[in-house]
Structures are given as structure tokens and as C-alpha cells.
A and B are shown apart, each in its own frame.
Chain A
Amino acid sequence: MIVESVMNLFSSAIMLIFAWINIPDAPAELSQAVDQLIVYMKSGMGFLYIIFDMNFVKTMLPFVLIVANFEEVYKLVMFVLRKIPFLGIE
């Protein structure tokens, strides 16, 4: 309830701040072109499904991201740990 209240308060603040903005929508042709692009991308993903075992790929993807961005992940973890007082990590 507390978290929900905080997030609702945050969204309410955002809406209040950006309430005055009213930018028009994109043209319909642009939206159709984007949708067609997405369809082609899905078709391309179908090609990847033929070559790769996508279940294996989805399993490995988090590990690849963590290893590839090890420094950032390490800094994030240490930042969180430093916030815990009783661990005493400087």
C-alpha cells in the first residue's frame, strides 16, 4: 500500500507536471509503416527460430548481459550493499 501510494503519487506528479503538453499523434501512414516493420522483424525472428534454439538463447541472454556489463553490474551491486549499514562495506 505504501509503495503503491508512493508510485501513484509519483505518477500523479508527472501527470500534473506534463498536463499542459498536448502533442498531436503521428500520421497514420507512419504508424502503418512502423507496424509493417514490426511484422518483418517477427518474420526475421522466425528465421532465427530455425537456426537457433531460442529457449537456450533466452536462458543465456541474462548471463551474457551480466558478463558483458560486468563493471556496471558490479558498481550497482556495491552501491546497494554500501547502503546496508550492518554489512560495514566502504
Chain B
Amino acid sequence: MKKFTAIFLICQIVFLLAFPALASVATPADADILDEFEAASSSDAQMMYDSLMQYSNISLMSAGEVEDVETTIANLSKILVVYRYYDKNRKLHDIQGNLSSKGYFSFNTVPDDFAQSHSLIFWFTETRPPSGKYTVKFSFASNIGGSTYTKAYLWSSKAYTNATQLTGSVPMSLSQYSGDASGSCTIDIGSASSMCINLLSADMDFPYGGYFSLRFERLKDQSVEVDGVTSGGSYSSDNAAVDTAQSSAQIAQNTSDMNDTLKEIVQTISNQLAALWDQMFNLMHLPQLANDDKNTDRIVNSQNQSTNQIIENQNENTQEVTGAIEEHGNFIIEGLKSLFIPSDDFFKSYFDDLYNWFSTKFGFLTIPLDIFIQIVGVFTSSDRVDFVLVLPGFSIMDEQVWADQMFNLTEFLDENFAFILSPIHWATNIALTMAFVDLCRKKYDEVMRN
């Protein structure tokens, strides 16, 4: 029994000693794992955990074997830490945050769709050193403990304009103990666009956090071989030309942006100065402007009054001139009329006077003329004449037999037979009209037919 127990312990020790040797060798299977990481980083990663466990190179060490790395990064807060996890549908999700200035981070809240952790990723693109060959070391002191990391590697990418980007990774040695981990590798940092360190672990339960430290040690002999090269290769003259061109373009772009910004600033300042000037001008000249306005109003009112007065005077003068012209015209016209046309009552008085003179001088010889004039007057008089029948009075031997008897037939007919007079007048008008037409016809025959 003791022999069996001793053999078992020896086998176990041998087995445990063989693990670090296996973990320090990168195998082709590692490349497959990295490809899966890139796919997961892109979008839809598939199940990786099993494969990671299959190719893992775990190195379990004691507490004293986890190296405490002193950082060379001036500002650790520029390092972005990403906690990547699976949901129940085996899809990857990220939660992220920056390290503190002391390199601490902590993810306390469990996401609703959390199913299993995948990895911790530390992005240090902005804090990387210049191009060259370095020994990269990191350490992570977990504040919880208990996690096991399956792999650590340095991942980089190189982006090209209008082309796909290059990606690559360099495995790092990994030492860990109860969630604490450290690792290192040598690498040639070229012109990579972005760089990060990945720690793969499937049992990083929330809350999870700790202190992260990163150190770059530049190799004195830059000609030695290193574990790997970042994507895009080593820094060369081509990279320098491209970088110079890109830098020049970037500088030109920045200069243009700054120029635009300066123009906007100058324009804004100019507008503000103009507005300020207007305000100052108004403030300084407001009383004067008010007085100017008042004076202007007074002047305008005075001018309006003067203009109205002038217009009224002109109207009066025009009326006077017009009246004078009309008076002169009327005077001339009346003078001409009085010169050639006798007054209205001239002829009447003239002929009356002449008739009276002839009556006086010619005596009884004017009786026919009187009779003719009176007959014409009777006929042409506009006064209506009533038809009065007179029965003269009769007396014998100075004894009156009967007095004069008068009967007004016109009044009698108007009072009793007015409805007959109108038709009679209507009929006589027709008869007169017909007679006039007949007269015209006869006259036409007489004149035109000789």
C-alpha cells in the first residue's frame, strides 16, 4: 500500500511539473484561438470557451511567483479596460471603463444578460512607447480572487485607408495565483494602430476588478529576435514616409480646421465688437439722438405748417385770380351781349310805347289793329276761358222784365260730366292729328308733284 501511494505521488508530481513546460510553447492551435478572439471582437463569436480550455497553458503558481510589475505608464487612466462576457445565446458583449490613475478598476453590476465571462482586455494604444523592441510586462491583482486565466496574449491591429486591417497577436507567458496574474513577452512595436492585452477566463464572476500595471522595457540590443511583431510589421523607412505623409496630412487638416476655427472666432469677435460698438454708440448718442429727433420733428412740423400756409395762400391767390379772370370774362361777355342783344323787356316796352303813340296819333284808325291784337291775345292766352251763356236783361218802359241771366257751362260739365270731357278731348286730338297728317300729305303732293 505504501508503495502504491508513493508511486501515485511521484506520478502526480511529474505530471504537475510537465504543465509549465507545455504552457511555454506556442502551438499552431494558439493561432486558431486568436482567430476566434478576433471574430468575437468583431461581432458574432461562437463558442470559444471549450476550445480555450482545450488549448490552455495554465501555469498555477504560488503567491510569491506572481510578479509585481512596476508600471512605466505615466497615466494609467488612459488605459481602457473591457470586460467581455457571453449571454445565454452564446453571444459576446462588452462592458468597459477606464482605469484609475492608480490602475484600479471594478465592474460591480451584473449585466442582465450575463451568462459567463470571456476575457479581460486592456487597451493601451494611447500609452504605448515609441517604435522599437521591448519587453512587455503586466500584472493584475484581483480584488476578489478565485479566477483562473486560460491564456494571455498581446493583440494588435494595423488599419489602412480604404483597405482591410491587419491583425495579429503575440502570446505572453502567464503566471497566476487565485485571480492574480502576471505575464510578459518581447515584442517589436512597429506602426500598429491599436494594441491590447487579453486575459482569457471563464470564471470571472461579478463583482470583478483589481489593480492593473503595465511596463515596457526597451531592449538594449535592438537586433535580437523577439517573440513577435505587432501588426503592420517593424517600423521602417516606408512606415516613416507614410507616417510623415499622414502626419503632414493630419497637420494640414488640423491647420485647416484651426484656420476655420480661427475665422469663426474672428467673425464672432467682430460681430460682438460691432454689436458692442452699436450699443456704445447708442448709449453715448441716445440723448443727442432724442434731441435730434425732437428737433427734426419740430423742423418737420414747422415745414409742414409753412407748406400748408403756402398752399393755402396759393389756393387763395388762385381763387382770386380765377375770380378776377371770370369777372373779366363775364364782363366782356356781358358787354358783348348788351352790345348786340337788347334786354328782355326792351321789345315789349318798345312796342307798347310805339303802339300807344300810334293810338294817340291815328285815333279811330287803330281800331282794326286793336281788334286783331285782342283776338290774338284771346287765342294765345294761357288762361282757361269758361264758356258762359248770357241771357241779357229785358225792360219795357223803364220797367225791368227780367235781369241778366248767366249760365257757366264749363263749370256745369266739370262738376257733372267730367268723365265725358276727357274722351271728347282724346277724340278731338286724334281728329286734329289726322287732319294735320292729311294736310302734310296734300302739301307734299302739291310741292313734290307740282
Contacts and interface: CB of A to CB of B under 8 A. Distances in A.
Interface in A30-73: 30-31, 34, 37-38, 41-47, 49-54, 56-58, 60, 63-64, 67-68, 70-71
A49 B387 contact: yes
Nearest to B439: A67
A3 interface: yes
B108 interface: no
A40 B433 CA distance: 28
B255 interface: no
A53 B385 contact: no
Interface of A: 1-4, 7-8, 11, 14-15, 18-19, 21-27, 30-31, 34, 37-38, 41-47, 49-54, 56-58, 60, 63-64, 67-68, 70-71
A8 B85 CA distance: 146
Given A38-B374, A49-B387, A68-B439, A26 B363 contact: yes
Interface in B430-448: 432-433, 436, 439-440, 443, 447
The 10 closest A-B CB pairs, nearest first, are A46-B387, A26-B364, A23-B363, A53-B425, A46-B385, A47-B387, A25-B363, A24-B363, A4-B342, A45-B385
24 contacts: A1-B340, A3-B342, A4-B342, A8-B350, A27-B364, A30-B364, A34-B371, A38-B374, A38-B378, A41-B375, A42-B378, A47-B387, A49-B386, A49-B387, A50-B424, A51-B424, A52-B425, A56-B429, A56-B432, A57-B432, A63-B436, A64-B439, A67-B439, A67-B440
Interface of B: 338-343, 346, 350, 353-354, 357-358, 361-365, 367, 370-371, 374-375, 378-380, 384-390, 409-410, 413, 421, 424-425, 428-429, 432-433, 436, 439-440, 443, 447
Contacts of B421: 50
A15 B350 CA distance: 13
Contact of B346 (A4, A37, A52): A4
Nearest to B366: A26
B439 A25 contact: no
A33 to B, nearest CB: 10
B150 to A, nearest CB: 140
A24 B361 contact: no
B361 A49 contact: no
Contacts of A27: 364
A45 B439 contact: no
Nearest to A39: B390
Contacts of A53: 425, 428-429
Contact of B340 (A2, A21, A57, A58): A2
Contact of B350 (A11, A46, A49): A11
Contacts of A68: 439, 443
B361 A23 contact: yes
A12 to B, nearest CB: 11
Contacts of A54: 384
B378 A11 contact: no
Contacts of B389: 43
Contact of A45 (B370, B379, B425, B436): B379
B432 A60 contact: yes
A75 to B, nearest CB: 12
A70 B339 contact: no
B410 A23 contact: no
A15 B357 contact: yes
Contacts of A71: 447
Contacts of B343: 4
Contact of A42 (B370, B385, B440): B385
Contacts of B447: 70-71
Contacts of B363: 22-26
A58 B429 CA distance: 12
Contacts of A4: 342-343, 346
Contact of B386 (A26, A46, A58): A46
A34 B367 CA distance: 8
B375 A38 contact: yes
A37 B382 CA distance: 20
Given A22-B363, A45-B378, A46-B387, 17 more contacts: A2-B339, A2-B340, A11-B354, A25-B364, A27-B364, A30-B364, A31-B367, A34-B370, A37-B371, A42-B378, A43-B390, A46-B385, A46-B386, A46-B388, A51-B428, A52-B428, A63-B436
Contact of B410 (A2, A8, A44, A49): A49
A11 B354 CA distance: 7
Contacts of A44: 387
A67 B386 CA distance: 31
Contacts of B353: 11
A86 to B, nearest CB: 20
A4 B440 CA distance: 39
Nearest to A56: B429
A45 B409 CA distance: 12
